[in-house]
Amino acid sequence: MSITGITGITKKSVAAAAVGLGLVALSACGSSSEEAAGGDSKTVTLVSHDSWAASKSVIAAFEKESGYQVKVLEDGDAGQAVNKAILTKDNPQGDVFFGVDNTLLSRALDNGLFQPYEAKGLDRVDEQYQLDAGQHRVTPVDYGDICVNYDKAYFSEHKIDPPASFADLVKPAYKNLLVTENAGTSSPGLGFLLGTAAAYGDGGWQAYWKKLRANGVKVVDGWEQAYNEEFSGSAGGKKAGGDRPLVVSYASSPPVEVVYADPQPKTAPTGVATGTCFRQTEFAGLLSNAQNPAGGKAFLDFLISKKFQEDMPLNMYVNPVVDDAELPAVYADNTPTVENPETMAPAKIAAGRDDWVKSWTSLVLK
């Protein structure tokens, strides 16, 4: 979920480290091209960013039902993985690529990264996520919202209402409270920038960021530093002495603070400003020139199966795209519904992304 040089959604790797993948991870070096490409017809190789995670039992069920063994090649952050997949598209490292989102989709499609395949069960996926519905070069797998999170205890103690919108963040009450990620080095940082561009338009987002800068926004390189060091509401931030009660993160970050706390609180200690959200949809596709296209198609079917879709929320902390998936209670209870997230067409993102990041860097980091 990131552009070139942008860190992937490392929040999800916290869950991955905790639950374990139960999969065979292949390193980019040290495996033969035939092995990495799934030359064995009984092996299907998934290429992904390093935030991929799934339960052992769910993968085992796919392997038993399909007859294919799953191998996973995790290839850095999303931007790095997408770029490498494009460079190697004539001799791909695997059969299926997972992890291209709407901020990178046009780049992948314009470079012919995927071959068409209409996954079984696609009729259960809401049309709003089917951004390539006419050609089916990619299959929607999950969605999430990049939003400002807040430390409930801080605002309660200071008797201040937490912010609810982009407009709130530039008010004097929130001066020196927000930490965000660099839009040029972080996926959530880029998403937050795109959210403001969508909200204020081409003629207004720069003026908004000038106000945000004047109001003391702090910019750090990536999500790990922002959330686990600077943010006072996270378990990591508390240990690190973080003093910023507002952070750009995800609408699904609060349940992480419940699941991995010991003892577990009844409700998350963090909340979400739902008027500051930008929606990302994540896709998978059958790689052009895949060595095992039959296995790749079976795996794409599996990614939108009810079993896998219900497994995602507490592994990758993202939302399922199929209509019939049920959310785990701890996830549903602590992840707010974002009714009106900011969105932007992939073609517009592709056309403006580099200029927006360049202008943002000049405005905010000078």
**Domain positions in the chain:** 11-143+280-332, 145-279
Does position 40 have pLDDT exceeding 80, yes or no?
no
- Among 71-80, 101-110, 112-121, which is the least confidently predicted range? 71-80
Instruction: Please tell me the pTM assigned to this model.
Output: 0.84
Cβ partners under 8 Å of residue 94, min gap 6: 36, 37, 38, 45, 46, 47, 71, 73, 287, 290
Q: What CA–CA distance (Å, rounded) separates 132 from 336?
A: 28
pLDDT band (50, 70, 90) for residue 75:
confident
User: Can you read off the two tokens belonging to residue 285?
Assistant: 């596709």
What CATH architecture is 145-279? Answer: 3-Layer(aba) Sandwich (3.40)
Least confident of 34-38, 195-199, 326-330: 34-38
Structure tokens at 68: 């294919």
Q: Please check whether the two domains, 11-143+280-332 and 145-279, share a CATH topology.
A: yes
- Is the domain 11-143+280-332 a CATH 3.40.50.970 member? no
Predicted confidence band of residue 104 (pLDDT cuts 50, 70, 90): confident
Residue 166 corresponds to which tokens in the numbers above? Answer: 């982009």
pLDDT at 19: 33
Query: What number of H helices and E strands is found in the chain?
Result: 15, 11
